[in-house]
Amino acid sequence: MINLAAGTVDREIFTSPDVHRQELEKLFTRSWLFVGHESQIPKPGDFFVSRMGDGPVILCRDDRGGIHVFLNSCRHRGMKVCRYEHGNTALFVCPYHSWSYTTDGKLQGVPQYRTLYAGTLNRDEWGLVEVARMANYKGTIWASWDPEAPDFLNWLGDAVDHFDHVIDCRDGRPGGAEVIGVHKWVFPSNWKFAAENFLGDSYHNPSHRSVDMVGMSASAQAGQRRDNEYAKGQRVWVGYPQGHGMTSGYVPDDVEYTPTYQQYPEVDEYFRHCFYERKRRLGERANLLPLVGTIFPNASYHGRQPRGICVWHPHGPTETEAWRFFLVDADAPAAVKDVPRRYYMRYSGPAGMTEQDDMENWLYATAASKGTIAKRYPLNYQMSMKLPNATHLGPGEVATQMTDQTPRNFYRVWQRYMSGDNWDSLLGRDIQPMLRAAE
* Residue closest to 4 by CA, chosen among 304, 417, 394, 401: 394
User: Does residue 358 belong to the site contacting Fe ion (CB under 5 A)?
Assistant: yes
Which one, 60 or 195, has the nearer CB to ligand FES? Answer: 60
User: Does residue 212 belong to the site contacting Fe ion (CB under 5 A)?
Assistant: no
Bridge partners (DSSP) of residue 398 are 238
| Residue 79 contact partner, candidates ligand FES, Fe ion, none, CB within 5 to 8 A by sort of partner | ligand FES
Which one, 83 or 97, has the nearer CB to ligand FES? Answer: 97
Q: What's the rounded Cα separation, in Å, for the pair 61 and 88?
A: 9
Minimum distance from residue 135 beta carbon to Fe ion (Å): 29
Minimum distance from residue 94 beta carbon to ligand FES (Å): 3
Which one, 201 or 329, has the nearer CB to Fe ion? Answer: 201
* Residue closest to 307 by CA, chosen among 348, 262, 247, 359: 348
CB 305 within 8 A of CB 291: no
* Residue closest to 52 by CA, chosen among 73, 81, 67: 73
| Residue 274 contact partner, candidates ligand FES, Fe ion, none, CB within 5 to 8 A by sort of partner | none
* Residue closest to 14 by CA, chosen among 400, 361, 437: 361
| Residue 358 contact partner, candidates Fe ion, ligand FES, none, CB within 5 to 8 A by sort of partner | Fe ion
Which one, 77 or 273, has the nearer CB to ligand FES? Answer: 77
* Residue closest to 328 by CA, chosen among 176, 226, 219: 176
Contacts with ligand FES by CB under 6 A lie at: 74, 76-79, 94, 96-99
Which one, 98 or 112, has the nearer CB to ligand FES? Answer: 98
CB 231 within 8 A of CB 393: no
Minimum distance from residue 97 beta carbon to ligand FES (Å): 3
CB 214 within 8 A of CB 223: no
User: Does residue 168 belong to the site contacting Fe ion (CB under 5 A)?
Assistant: no
H or E segment at 141? strand 140-144
| Residue 420 contact partner, candidates Fe ion, ligand FES, none, CB within 5 to 8 A by sort of partner | none
| Residue 74 contact partner, candidates Fe ion, ligand FES, none, CB within 5 to 8 A by sort of partner | ligand FES
Q: What's the rounded Cα separation, in Å, for the pair 131 and 401?
A: 40
Minimum distance from residue 353 beta carbon to Fe ion (Å): 11
H or E segment at 108? strand 107-109
Q: Which residue is nearest to Fe ion (CB)?
A: 358
User: Does residue 38 belong to the site contacting Fe ion (CB under 5 A)?
Assistant: no
Minimum distance from residue 357 beta carbon to Fe ion (Å): 6
Based on the number of CB atoms within 10 Å of its own CB, is 106 exposed (0-12), middle (13-18) or buried (19 or more)? middle
Query: Would you give the DSSP letter of residue 130?
Result: B
Minimum distance from residue 306 beta carbon to Fe ion (Å): 12
H or E segment at 436? helix 432-438
Which one, 76 or 370, has the nearer CB to ligand FES? Answer: 76
Report how far Cα 428 is from the mean position of its chain's Cα atoms.
20
Q: Which stretch binds Fe ion (CB under 5 A): 104-112, 161-169, 185-193, 354-362?
A: 354-362
Minimum distance from residue 66 beta carbon to ligand FES (Å): 24
| Residue 96 contact partner, candidates Fe ion, ligand FES, none, CB within 5 to 8 A by sort of partner | ligand FES
Q: Which stretch binds Fe ion (CB under 5 A): 43-51, 309-317, 320-328, 353-361?
A: 353-361
CB 359 within 8 A of CB 189: yes
Which residues, including other chains, have CB under 8 Å from residue 96's CB and lie 6 or more apart?
Answer: 74, 76, 77, 79
Minimum distance from residue 105 beta carbon to ligand FES (Å): 14
Minimum distance from residue 100 beta carbon to ligand FES (Å): 8
Report how far Cα 344 is from the mean position of its chain's Cα atoms.
16
| Residue 34 contact partner, candidates ligand FES, Fe ion, none, CB within 5 to 8 A by sort of partner | none
User: Does residue 46 belong to the site contacting Fe ion (CB under 5 A)?
Assistant: no
Which one, 79 or 121, has the nearer CB to ligand FES? Answer: 79
Which one, 336 or 345, has the nearer CB to Fe ion? Answer: 345
Query: Would you give the DSSP letter of residue 317?
Result: T
Which one, 110 or 345, has the nearer CB to Fe ion? Answer: 345
CB 295 within 8 A of CB 282: no
Which one, 28 or 191, has the nearer CB to Fe ion? Answer: 191
Can you tell me whether residue 349 is helix, strand or coil?
A: coil
* Other CB atoms within 10 Å distance of the CB of residue 239: 32
Q: Which stretch binds Fe ion (CB under 5 A): 21-29, 117-125, 293-301, 352-360?
A: 352-360
Residue ranges that bind Fe ion, judged by CB under 5 A: 358
